Amino acid sequence: MWGPLWAWSCFVFGSFNGEIKKCIHGTGNACRQIFWSLQCQKKVEAMAVQCKEDQLRDFYQCMTEGSNARQKGGEDAYQCVVFTPAKIKKTFNFSNNVKEELVRLCGTYDINNLMIVKKISRNGFLMFSKQCSRVVKRNSYTIKMVDNTIVNVENTVVRAELLQEPVIVVKTESKICCGVIPNNVERD
């Protein structure tokens, strides 16, 4: 279910055992302590979603996600988190192919409602555009879509909800092969 045996270890499960152990603060009825601690966490997560004020919502999310889970500069967007989005300038000229794709996907070409994004987080994965400065040394811009097609995010119009996960790209003299990362459970 999680890929080949060589691609994962039990460290993630051991780590989660440590998280469960943090819920226990006494010697009596450990099961009840774990239960109530997890219930409190779920309540705070629900409050974060329902909160209308930005500062309180950020506080709730910080409490539930921890300090390392959310990268700085991320803004919530539709089904993803975007990093350093740039509004498109009125003078920015798209090619006719890009304009046609925008109309096909969005139903309109309203430059005021569009933005250029070079990095997003979706489904627990960071995904980059080829224009992002971080993708110089490795290919982090080849993405598997929900319909199992593979795209290079480079001057491409892509709906965020169709992005699934980055893939590994291996180039040989005669072929280019792509494959999903076999272990999507553990993270560095």
Determine the 3-state secondary structure of 167 from DSSP: strand
* pLDDT over 50 at 93, yes or no: yes
Question: For 60-84, how does the pLDDT look when each residue is reduced to its tens digit (9 = 90+)?
Answer: 666 666 544 445 567 777 778 888 7
Measured N-to-C along each axis, helices 54-65 and 30-50 cross at an angle, to the nearest 10 degrees, of: 150
**Beta strands per DSSP E along 40-122:** 74-77, 80-83, 86-87, 115-116, 119-122
pTM over 0.85: no
The more confident residue out of 40 and 115 is: 40
Nearest by Cα to 69 from 78, 61, 59, 77: 61
Bridge partners for 122 per DSSP: 125
- 25-34, 63-72, 87-96, 163-172: lowest mean pLDDT where? 63-72
Residue boundaries of the structural domains of the chain: 9-68
